[in-house]
Amino acid sequence: MAMNNMMLAQLMKDLQDPEIMREAQKLMQDPAFQQQMKKMTANPQFKDHMKKTQDVLKDPKKVKEMEEKMKAAVDEGNKGLEEMEKKRKEIGDEDGAKKEEATEDDDKKQPAKKEEEEDDIPDIPSLNIN
């Protein structure tokens, strides 16, 4: 759960980054992305999940509860990110650079996935908000 909270906290930070938002806007204008979104939104699981979310958002008490949970998760995630950054600094930039080089080498060795092999519709995780 802590990793999910850290990912959520990073997402919230990324949403404030103008460069990332410009890239997201470019992506959303891509016809292939738009086609993928149409497939995803046509999925019955997606539709069901959106209906449940809309029903929850109609109840002010549940909205407040969700906001509190979200805030707590982001706060916990930010603490995790800060701890990770602190550890990274303790280890030093040399180790980080070595890991980055190794990752780049690994990426070069792995063959690129064909578009056909990718799932047409991503998995929609169950977001238990009750």
- The two structure tokens encoding residue 16: 């404030």
* pLDDT tens readout for residues 9-45: 999 999 999 999 999 999 999 999 999 999 999 999 9
What's the pLDDT tens digit per position in 91-118? 886 555 566 566 555 555 555 554 444 5
User: Do residues 118 and 36 make contact, with C-beta atoms less than 8 angstroms apart?
Assistant: no
Task: Of 123, 115, 118, give the one whose Cα is nearest residue 40.
Answer: 123
Residue 14 lies in a domain: yes
User: How many structural domains compose the chain?
Assistant: 1
- Whole-angstrom Cα distance, residue 66 to residue 28? 27
**Containing domain of residue 27, as a range?**
1-81
Q: Which of 71-75, 116-120, 123-127 has the lowest average pLDDT?
A: 116-120
Q: What sign results for the dihedral spanned by CA atoms 7, 75, 82, 17?
A: positive
Residue 122 resides in a domain: no
Is the Cβ–Cβ distance between 34 and 28 less than 8 Å? yes
Q: Is the pTM of this model over 0.85?
A: no
- Does a structural domain hold residue 40? yes
With respect to residue 104, please indicate whether it lies within any of the assigned structural domains: no
Query: What's the gap between Cα 127 and its chain centre?
Result: 13
Q: Is a pLDDT exceeding 50 seen at residue 51? A: yes
3-state DSSP assignment of residue 121: coil
Q: Exposed (0-12), middle (13-18) or buried (19+): which is 15, by Cβ within 10 Å?
A: exposed
